[in-house]
Chain A
Amino acid sequence: MLSVEGLTKRFGTLVANDAVDLVIKPGEIHALLGENGAGKSTFVKMLFGSLRPDAGVIRWEGNPVSIETPGEARALGIGMVFQHFSLFEALTAGENIALAFEGGGTGHGAIGARAREVSETYGLPIDPDALVGELSVGERQRIEIVRCLMQDPKLIILDEPTSVLTPQEAEKLFETLERLKSEGRSVLYISHRLDEVRRLCDSATVLRHGRVVAHCTPSEETAGSLAAMMVGEEVEGFSRASAAVDHASDRAVLRLNGLSLPAASPFAVPLKDIDLTVPAGMVIGIAGVAGNGQGELFEALSGEVLQNRADMVSIDGSAAGHMDIEERRALGAAFVPEERLGHGAAPAMALTDNLFLSRHGTDSALFTGTLGSILKNKLKAVAAHISETMDVRKGAPDPHASALSGGNLQKYLVGRELDREPLLIIVNQPTWGVDAGAAARIRGALANVARRGGAVLAISQDLDELFEIADAIAVMHHGRMSRPIPIEEATREKIGLLMGGADPDHAELAEMQA
């Protein structure tokens, strides 16, 4: 049906897709697997005409084609359901569907009838008169799928369709996909949820760093072997600095004792009975596929979400479960959230203001005078010091946070916390979307905290990063956390298995067999 040879796309010096080959047969569900940033989105954008490949051939039913626009892709018979929906919230479901067919010459009534027919045939109930703004995410996705199916596509591309669905909604989606398959249509299914892929897909292509690392049959693989393909089995030489473990002591700087947290929304992950100790002098890494409770864990630790029992979280011996973020900072903790703009920093505020944001309590003696007046000169001096230490490059002396590049802002935000020499620093995705130079500096700075006797908890999806800085790695899956595996015993296979949801005993078994 569709075959792709040597498809390549470069953004500047970054090769997002490097000679990708892929074949989709009629009537198969084909998985495209890979970690965040592996090049999956770039690839499907080229198939759908949103991006133009730099090299390579796309063959559609045997003939080479060049797909310049999404309209051409649709005309060929390629339909796509996006991860982020493209519906107008203020319009009804029916109006949203009709909009896609504007100018097609079909009347509104005919479109409505066809939409009903499609939604009944595929078991995708939609109410054409409902306002999209009032519908759940699952219902919105159904509208998107119906709209896509009304164009009678031969190949349907689904981008992370279940990432926004509850398990029950996902189940219904799978039934629909099976039905499409039985009609001889093909599906390209993009996901990093391995259990789904193993259950549903007939074949899979695995991408890593923009390259195809494997074509395989998911049902013949294990979750662990798929995870290993995604994250890379080859063990490269990690340039670990001197073992920080030498500095480790028995002092438990952070202790989680049965930390549980109900899900705040239908799409949040509940935290289940997490036990963990982060001793002084150590970097503990938390690995896991995105969306397994890492964000929820960070907010629970930072005190943005409080715990039911005070002793669920202890910082340096004090039960902190009922303390807010400022009180936890006062105990010596520092936090760097995943989202830089809008969480770690206020985008439209100057760097000095953003310094005050997280330090106004712990450094009130330094930064505020009588009546709570802000001492701008002190802020400027400290901000300049941070910028110098962390090599923050900026266009103006005190620009808005949003004016900095992602890497430079992250260096500033990490530097902002390290500058007060915290006892404990908790970082979520320390180098997400950051260039290599900045990433190295940030990792070095975090390792230094442990070296001078502090404790670091680094939550990251980047296994390379964790192997580089962590002294032990624990894995989160569905809101549970494995016991930390000391770095000497940790292998990618083992971590990969845990990320795929294997229970820890099984992981050890697999290691013994290996």
Chain B
Amino acid sequence: MMIALNKRANPSPLFATLSPFIALTLTLVAGVILFLAIGKSPGAALYAYLIEPLTEGWSLHELAVKATPLILIGAGLCIAFLSGNWNIGAEGQLVMGAIAGAIVPVLIPDFRNLLTLPLMLCLGMLGGALWASIPGLLKAKFGTSEILTSLMLVYVAQLFLDWLVRGPWRDPAGYNFPQTVRFPTEATVPAIDYASGRAHWGFGIAILVALGLWYMLARTRRGFSLRVTGQSPRAARFGGFSPGRTTMFAFLLSGALAGLAGIIEVAGAIGQLRPVISPGYGFTAIIVAFLGRLNPAGAILAGLVLALSYLGGEAAQISLGVSDKIARVFQGMILFFVLGCDTLINYRIRIAGQSSGGVIAETPAATTGSDQKRDIDAAASAVPEAGRHA
């Protein structure tokens, strides 16, 4: 007996919708097995992990805080991935955006007025976009694999930030802690409701950006050029859309949004630069993009789900005494099952008897799936790799 995958004539719209939900269900099942294996009651563990964070006002605020960068970056990555540009270095672009935006409060602390925050946000986008333009240019000009270059630049950015906060940008009045001055009020993203929690208006920006990108992708010529380039590069060229320009646009846009997420994170949730400013949002956002079906509007929901996985990890650590690495395990399982379930969209699973052992020579060597699929797998497999170092 063997399990065979038969290609469907047309992609199944049913499974295109159901796939993320099947993936989440399978993640839960795997979670139950996981908790049983480490001797915890699965019911209590899943409650602590998934439900408890939603029962209190302050933790809902935390959910919004964590979802903000995930949605911003995830929506941008949808654009990049859909156009066949595998930018997996959003974590580095986030860091460079945070550094560029922090130029204002750190280097020109006396510039304090209504323009301070908008200027910081713009610089943040610029920083992220410039950092993303490096792998973009290398790909457009020399055909370099952007998966490698964008990922490697993450570590460059992280070490640059580390050097800055321990060296030139260290707060002179900060008792030698590796951190910058605290940003003044004018340089801080205002909270939505101070009284009840930390959530800030960055969340609103993230929702607006995601909806804007959804409109661009679905309804404009620019969005069309991105979609057709990812799907059928030669047809896109025939349509007059230059692949190099599309690559640059995708990298600049996704980089700018990662940079925006970075500056919003430091100017909203943290309030200063530190050696580590993100628990891997840039990598987790890759999962957000895929869980959201590469649809920027879907990234809003997916961003909230992944934010919950971070909160759940913390909650499970407190109430169950398990390592907060459990959050990474859950995130990895979500991505694994999402990519696995996506197979159902294009393939039908058939359980077949022993097939006649034909000789190799008459079947043309099978290339598994399309190039795009291979690239997705390559990008996805780089994620846990990156996560280890983050």
Contact = CB atoms under 8 A, between A and B. Distances in A.
**Residue among B11, B224, B240, B360 with max Cβ neighbours from chain A (10 Å):** B240
A3 interface: no
A348 B11 contact: yes
Closest 6 CB pairs of A and B: A326-B240, A346-B232, A372-B221, A357-B239, A346-B235, A372-B220
A306 to B, nearest CB: 12
Interface stretch (A86-94, A216-224, A234-242, A437-445): A86-94
B278 interface: no
Nearest to A400: B10
A335 B238 contact: yes
A403 B10 contact: yes
Contact of A86 (B220, B239, B364): B364
Given A346-B235, A349-B232, 17 more contacts: A70-B359, A70-B362, A84-B364, A89-B367, A100-B361, A325-B240, A326-B240, A337-B238, A342-B232, A342-B234, A343-B235, A346-B231, A358-B238, A358-B240, A373-B219, A374-B224, A400-B10
18 contacts: A71-B359, A74-B359, A82-B364, A85-B364, A324-B242, A325-B237, A337-B238, A339-B234, A343-B234, A344-B238, A346-B228, A346-B235, A346-B236, A357-B239, A358-B240, A360-B224, A361-B240, A364-B221
A329 B239 CA distance: 10
B219 A374 contact: yes
A344 B235 contact: yes
Contacts of B224: 353, 356, 360, 374
Nearest to B232: A346
A348 B235 CA distance: 11
A357 B362 contact: no
A99 interface: yes
B363 interface: yes
A86 B375 CA distance: 24
A368 B219 CA distance: 10
A87 B365 contact: yes
Contacts of A358: 238-240
B237 A349 contact: no
Nearest to B228: A346
Interface residues of B, number: 28
Interface in B188-246: 219-222, 224, 227-228, 231-232, 234-240, 242
A504 interface: no
B238 A349 contact: no
Interface of B: 10-11, 219-222, 224, 227-228, 231-232, 234-240, 242, 357, 359-365, 367
B235 A345 contact: yes
Given A342-B232, A346-B232, A346-B235, A324 B240 contact: yes
A441 B168 CA distance: 74
Contacts of B231: 346-349
B294 to A, nearest CB: 13
B235 A357 contact: yes
A373 B220 contact: yes
A302 interface: yes
Given A346-B232, A347-B232, A373-B219, A100 B240 contact: no
A48 to B, nearest CB: 8
A512 interface: no
Contacts of A372: 220-222
A494 interface: no
Contacts of A346: 228, 231-232, 235-236
A329 B220 contact: no
Interface in A32-91: 50, 70-71, 74, 80, 82, 84-89
A407 B228 CA distance: 23
Interface in A315-368: 324-326, 329, 335, 337, 339, 342-349, 353, 356-358, 360-361, 364, 368
Contacts of B361: 70, 80, 86, 100, 147
A110 interface: no
Nearest to A361: B240
B362 A86 contact: yes
A86 B360 contact: yes
A175 interface: no
A360 B239 contact: yes
A508 interface: no
Contacts of A85: 364-365
Nearest to B215: A373
Contacts of B234: 339, 342-343
A349 B227 CA distance: 9
Contacts of A80: 361
Contacts of B220: 371-374
Nearest to B235: A346
B221 A329 contact: no
Contact of B365 (A88, A356, A403): A88
Given A87-B365, A325-B238, A349 B359 contact: no
Contact of B221 (A88, A343, A374, A403): A374
A81 to B, nearest CB: 10
B240 A86 contact: no
Given A343-B235, A346-B228, A357-B228, A86 B221 contact: no
Contacts of A342: 232, 234-235
A116 to B, nearest CB: 20
Interface in A138-162: 147
Contacts of A368: 221
A435 interface: no
B13 to A, nearest CB: 12
B221 A304 contact: no
Contact of A100 (B219, B221, B359, B364): B359
Contacts of B227: 349
Contacts of B362: 50, 70, 86
A342 B220 CA distance: 22
B360 A100 contact: yes
